[in-house]
Amino acid sequence: MSSAAESSTTKAPSAPEPSVVARNKAVLDELPFADRQDFADAERGFIATLPDATILTASGHAAWSQKQYEFIDDGPAPDSVNPSLWRIAQLNRRHGLFEVCHGVYQVRGLDIANMTIVEGRTGVIVIDTLTCVEAGRAAMQLYRAHRGDRPVKAVIYTHTHADHFGGVKGVVDEADVLAGKVPVIAPNLFMEHAVSENVIAGPAMLRRATYQFGPLLPTGPRGQVDAGLGKTTSRGTLSLIAPTDLIINTGDRRTLDGLEFVFQMAPNSEAPAEMHMYVPAYKMLNMAENATHLFHNLLPFRGAEVRDPLAWSGYINEAMEMFGEAEAMTGQHHWPVWGRATIRDYLAKQRDLYKYVHDQTLRLMNHGLTAPEIAEEIKLPPALAQVWQNRDYYGAVKHNIKAIYQRYLGWYDANPANLDGLPPVEAAKKYVAYMGGADAVMAKAREDFAKGEYRWVAEVMNRVVFADPKNAEARELCAQAYDQLGYISEASTWRNAYLFGAHELRNGPAEIRRAAFAPDIASALSIPSFFQTLGVRLNGPKADGKRIVVNWTLTDTGETYILNLENSALTYVAGRIAENADAGLTLERATLTKVMQQKTTFPEAIGAGLVKMDGNPAKLLELFALFDQFDLRFAIVEP
């Protein structure tokens, strides 16, 4: 990931243009850079850290390291980085164990997310466990090295994203959970959403996430510098232990190791299942991921269902009313906020940020403006724009406005010209032909590039690339426009998307190595969800005219299903088997899990005697041949 790791054949990004340098310098006069309170807060309570925050896997590769970010110092931003983005990139370089208040500690900067550790009567309650086992284990070791070998008495998952639960087996022994010694507490519907949210559209989301976070983009002043919520995503062993206790209602309480926790439900905010909590004994409020030091995503670039900004704002408002006595406020990203009045002001500005953007989008939408028009029109008022925690480091006003429009009205803007437009390649060829051919388009684009009109250059050169992806000059000019747009972007997500797009135009799609499902996710996936993934993989045109019925019997769980292919669609019935099925499979759930993990295939498992088959084997082979394999290198910036 580091710049040093780039091969000698990798084509480098272009230099920032004079207009970009000037634009970035102007940012210094537009925002309150003299306000250094966040830097003091990010250092407050520091105890110790790991060298370069480096965490290794058992095989010796780095699951996480901040060494690659050594180029980010406390000096001024390079010309190729928006100074506001550079500021949070500096803040996200702080890492280690920190004391929040008496009895509450955080491990920050050892992953993209935080681990919050609350000391109870005899041990600790761990709030979120980072992304991978290696990071979770390292965080606990760092805590214990300075606070003593206190046992884990409970684990709390704040919400359903993997960077908040994936390290659980590095924090607690699953046997202790199964034996009832350590409760794992989560919001209602946690497992349903944690397991399924990225499954059906998983391959597309994974590919798109490379643009959002930039994990495969070289780091450096002209590369990846941050991911907004933290530096980037860790690369280790993802784990999951199912909750043993679900929080259902706002106001629910639990006493954990002698401490009372009061919970507030916040579903369909930053995650489909999420909750906040308050510890009265320490006057500590934890807002999960709903009040971070930035404007969050309402629709992440990787893809997801559009989040509800109206509910989000309401949950923050409710937290202010319920937990107004809080003296310390933590989140599961970034650094804490201290002081009753400061917390209230901080939360009020976050509350009003989401409400303002929601309401103003709806106002202009009802005046007939379309999503792109509204995104150009709305600007935050100074009271919201001039506070650092509302800046566009992860979400951005422009793309969040478009998400709100999508949530209410969908993709269609009601203009019939946009109802059934030509697909990208065909449209690109027509545009280029109408504009006089590729050479004429590029000549005009170079003139606009010199004027600093990078948005337009990117748009028209994208057309030329789609019309002729082998046009090397067009690819490079498009990449140069992406470079400049990346350099001026305040949002880490925008910068990463632009620069990774430029990188792939110059060097081709990056290789992504990842199994279909992490082992624990595969183990937790329900059979109906598995059948849904098969339905998504079914090649409908190939299945045309075929009718195949297969019985499934899981011997260890006692589950039975009928899987039915008919009318080029795959459906299932639970709880029985068909008398006249074409074939039947009898197996243990563990064998099916291995198939999900791509550790074996059904034909291999049948050959090994792990799966008993009856009926017509040709029908099974016919069915298996109808499923697509997804290439995680699918093209994005070219056809």
Assess whether pLDDT exceeds 80 at residue 460: yes
Distance CA 611, CA 553 (A): 10
Assess whether pLDDT exceeds 70 at residue 3: no
- Strands 253-256 and 245-247, by their bridges, are unpaired
Distance CA 300, CA 97 (A): 29
The string of pLDDT tens digits covering residues 474-515 is 999 999 999 999 999 999 999 999 999 999 999 999 888 766
CATH T-level fold of 16-351? Metallo-beta-lactamase; Chain A (3.60.15)
- Is residue 10 within 8 A of residue 507, CB to CB? The reply is yes
pLDDT recorded at residue 485: 98
pLDDT recorded at residue 8: 54
Locate CATH 3.30.1050.10 in the chain. 526-624
User: What is the pLDDT averaged over residues 386-415?
Assistant: 98
Distances (CA, A) of 16 to 13, 220, 244, 261, 369: 9, 14, 53, 51, 34
Summary mean pLDDT of the chain: 96
Assess whether pLDDT exceeds 90 at residue 9: no
Other CB atoms within 10 Å distance of the CB of residue 296: 24
The string of pLDDT tens digits covering residues 419-458 is 999 999 999 999 999 999 999 999 999 999 999 999 999 9
Locate CATH 3.60.15.30 in the chain. 16-351
Assess whether pLDDT exceeds 50 at residue 4: no
pLDDT recorded at residue 496: 98
Locate CATH 1.25.40.880 in the chain. 421-488
Listed in sequence order, the residues at least 6 apart from 309 whose beta carbon sits closer than 8 Å to its beta carbon are: 298, 354, 355, 357, 358, 400, 404
Dihedral sign, CA of 168, 169, 172, 174? positive
Which helix or strand (DSSP H or E) is residue 291 part of? none
pLDDT recorded at residue 515: 62
Residue with tokens 């084509």: 11
Assess whether pLDDT exceeds 50 at residue 391: yes
DSSP state of 418: G
The string of pLDDT tens digits covering residues 578-599 is 999 999 999 999 999 999 888 8
pLDDT tier at 247 (50, 70, 90 boundaries)? Answer: very high
Distances (CA, A) of 229 to 54, 92, 113, 492: 18, 8, 7, 9
Distance CA 71, CA 313 (A): 37
Show the CA angle centred on residue 158, arms to residues 152 and 164, nearest 5°.
75
Assess whether pLDDT exceeds 60 at residue 5: no
pLDDT recorded at residue 522: 87
Which helix or strand (DSSP H or E) is residue 352 part of? helix 340-365
User: What is the pLDDT averaged over residues 25-36?
Assistant: 98
pLDDT recorded at residue 6: 46
pLDDT recorded at residue 519: 86
- With helix as H, strand as E and coil as C, how does 593-633 read? HHHHCCCCCHHHHHHCCCEEEEECHHHHHHHHCCECCCCCC
- Is residue 393 within 8 A of residue 423, CB to CB? The reply is no
In a 3-state reduction of DSSP, which class is residue 230? coil
Distances (CA, A) of 94 to 117, 118, 233, 294: 18, 21, 16, 17
CATH hierarchy code of domain 526-624? 3.30.1050.10
- Is residue 14 within 8 A of residue 479, CB to CB? The reply is yes
- Is residue 583 within 8 A of residue 602, CB to CB? The reply is no
The string of pLDDT tens digits covering residues 69-124 is 999 999 999 999 999 999 999 999 999 999 999 999 999 999 999 999 999 999 99
The string of pLDDT tens digits covering residues 221-244 is 999 999 999 999 999 999 999 999
CATH hierarchy code of domain 421-488? 1.25.40.880
Assess whether pLDDT exceeds 90 at residue 2: no
Assess whether pLDDT exceeds 90 at residue 290: yes
